[in-house]
Amino acid sequence: MARRYTYLNMFLGFLFGIGIANLKVDPLVNTDLGLIRGVRANDGDYSMFMGIPYAQVNASNPFGAAIPQPPFEGLFEADDDSAICPQIEEINYTIMGSLDCLHLNIYVPSIANSQKKLPVLVWIHGGGYRSGSAGRYLFGPKFIVRHDVILITMNYRLGAYGFMSLDTPENPGNEGLKDQLVALKWIKKNVEAFGGDSDKITLFGESAGGRSVDFHLLSPNEKLFDKVIIQSGTTLGPAFYAPHKDAPLILATHLGLVTEDKSEAISFLASIHTDLIVAATYELGLVFRPCLEKPFEEVDAFITENWIEANVPKVRGMPILLGFTDDEKLVEYINQPKSYFENLNNIFYERLHFGFDVDSPDFEGMIESVRRFYISDGTNDENVKYQISNFDSDFTYIHPTSRSISKYLVNGAGNIYQYVFSYNGDRSFGKRDKNFTDSIAGAVHADEIGYLFDARYYEQTPSADDQLVIDRITMLWTNFAKYGNPTPIFFELLPITWTPITKNSLQFYLDINLELSLGVRPFHNRMAFWDLFYLANVKLQRMYPGS
């Protein structure tokens, strides 16, 4: 088991008169920050370097740009992945976290060395830009690293700390996305010390993580990856809110300081415990997400162009893998009481409000047309929750993915591999998180997470069916990272060739279930309806919902 991460390891082996292959000490790596010592995994042949700080939050303005991480004083023990940025945690719904959270976790197969550099997969977690973290509780590496790739997961600031925008140089917004960028720069610079190939970095994420990947494609900042995987979420999905420019004044007032000076409010909030900021954000109903930035000469902006209209030059020649689950939004509607569906027009209004100027005279009749398409008989029977779910899934995830594919192709993307994940098993994360079971449902939002990652959240051993899905999806994803093609050759495990989408081709996709099957344009009739709908209302699209 060669562990030649650096020349230092070779020197240590020589010094003690033993071969590197027989070393039983924990792995040691030399980076630009100094020496990092990881730990050997006890569930596979790989090493873990956890909790590596890649930047620090500025204590005087924790809502602004991060500051560089200074070199370590001595050896850094990378053995703790428990850091979490301030949030209401999404499993137990408790307030937790600290601003000492801008950390990376790097998982390295034992075969990695300077002569055998491995492809790298960098994961951005989801959570609506308000929750989530990078630790093994949800994102255990075992399933992925056994395919001889390096897996890296990252934390980034969330909520007010990550996405408060005041249109000032000190607080321009998108600091959570900029944290991700700083992490990617650190990875690009240092991953070869861990045995990674800095020219083979695949950026991937789900939900808000998938949207973040798409934002990195759109951003004019340097390209630090050569492939992307986008799971259930692109920037064309209606998910963004106009920034609260008075947010610091509102938060400060709620927490005891009445002021009209935003700088004074920021200084006050910087002195307040993070738990109180998170609680106040929730109590006030404030939502912080990515936004357009006002450009400043002295500030490196992340995105200043309307992402609906922006070109994506970074995708030229780039292989892309993306898709969604087949019942994305069902979990939000399945347990709603019958009374919830009594005024269907209100439901359609509230959702369409996220993407269109629904109050414009030019939008008249459009809500009714959508309602009739999905619920033609107008009845409120047991099926209405499934029909509303189909509408919301199409509007929020499925048709935005189709539009993103078209945008990538216009910008010269390489092969595009589209998938639909439809497996319903015991490790379906989205259902388990919401305590939801339904024998006729497919896969809901985030269900695939339980099959990509060996989460400590699951205590039981995977069933035979679950293990088959685990083996297949992780091989597809890691093949893509290695070769830019998820099915480069015939495998007994993958007895199919995944046909990519290319310019002027049909919109092919792979259905990922117990059986793998190829199809053309998922949910074709529903997507054709939305093609016409957007064509008719293109001038009424909005990046942000109403006030």
* Domains by residue range for the chain, with CATH: 7-244+287-310 (3.40.50.1820), 321-540 (3.40.50.1820)
Sheet holding 76-77, edge to edge: 28-31, 34-37, 76-77
Contacts for 306 with CB less than 8 Å, ≥ 6 apart: 292, 543
pLDDT of residue 23: 37
Sheet bearing 516-520, strands edge to edge: 39-40, 46-53, 103-109, 150-154, 118-124, 196-206, 227-231, 320-325, 416-421, 508-512, 516-520
Radius of gyration from C-alpha coordinates of the chain: 24
User: Are 529 and 373 contacting, i.e. CB atoms less than 8 angstroms apart?
Assistant: yes
- Cα gap 134→173, rounded to integer Å: 22
* Residue of 303, 532, 507, 540 lying closest to 406 (CA atoms): 507
Q: How far apart are CA 93 and CA 435, in angstroms?
A: 14
* Strand 67-68 to 28-31 pairing: unpaired
One-letter-per-residue 3-state SS of 382-432: CCHHHHHHHHHHHHHHHHHHHHHHHHHHHCCECCEEEEEECCCCCCCHHHH
- SS3 for 518? strand
Query: Which tokens is 86 given?
Result: 């301030």
Check if the beta carbon of residue 139 is closer than 8 Å to that of residue 453.
yes
pLDDT at position 459 is 82
Per-run averaged pLDDT (10 residues), the chain, 547 residues: 38 35 66 97 96 98 97 97 96 94 98 94 98 96 98 98 97 98 98 98 98 97 97 96 95 98 97 98 97 94 94 97 97 91 93 95 96 79 90 98 98 98 92 69 93 89 96 98 96 95 97 97 98 96 77
Give the Å distances, CA to CA, from 530 to 182, 402, 432.
Answer: 37, 10, 31
What confidence score (pLDDT) does residue 380 get?
Answer: 62
Tell me how far apart the alpha carbons of residues 502 and 80 are, in angstroms, rounded to a whole number: 43
Give the amino acid at 272. Answer: I
Identify the pLDDT of residue 437.
Answer: 66
Q: How many CA atoms lie within 13 A of 113 on its CB side?
A: 13
Measure the CA–CA gap between 406 and 419, rounded to whole angstroms: 15
Contact (Cβ atoms closer than 8 angstroms) between residue 134 and residue 153: yes
| Max intra-chain CA distance, the chain | 82
* Residues assigned a catalytic role: 207
- Identify which of 406, 385, 413 has the alpha carbon closest to the alpha carbon of residue 308: 406
For residues 414 and 317, the answer to whether their CB atoms sit within 8 Å is yes
Cβ distance 194 to 115 under 8 Å? Answer: no
pLDDT score recorded for residue 382: 77
Is the pTM value of this prediction over 0.85? yes
CA-CA distance, 193 to 149, in Å (whole number)? 14
Which one, of 32, 413, 3, lies nearest residue 188 by Cα?
Answer: 32
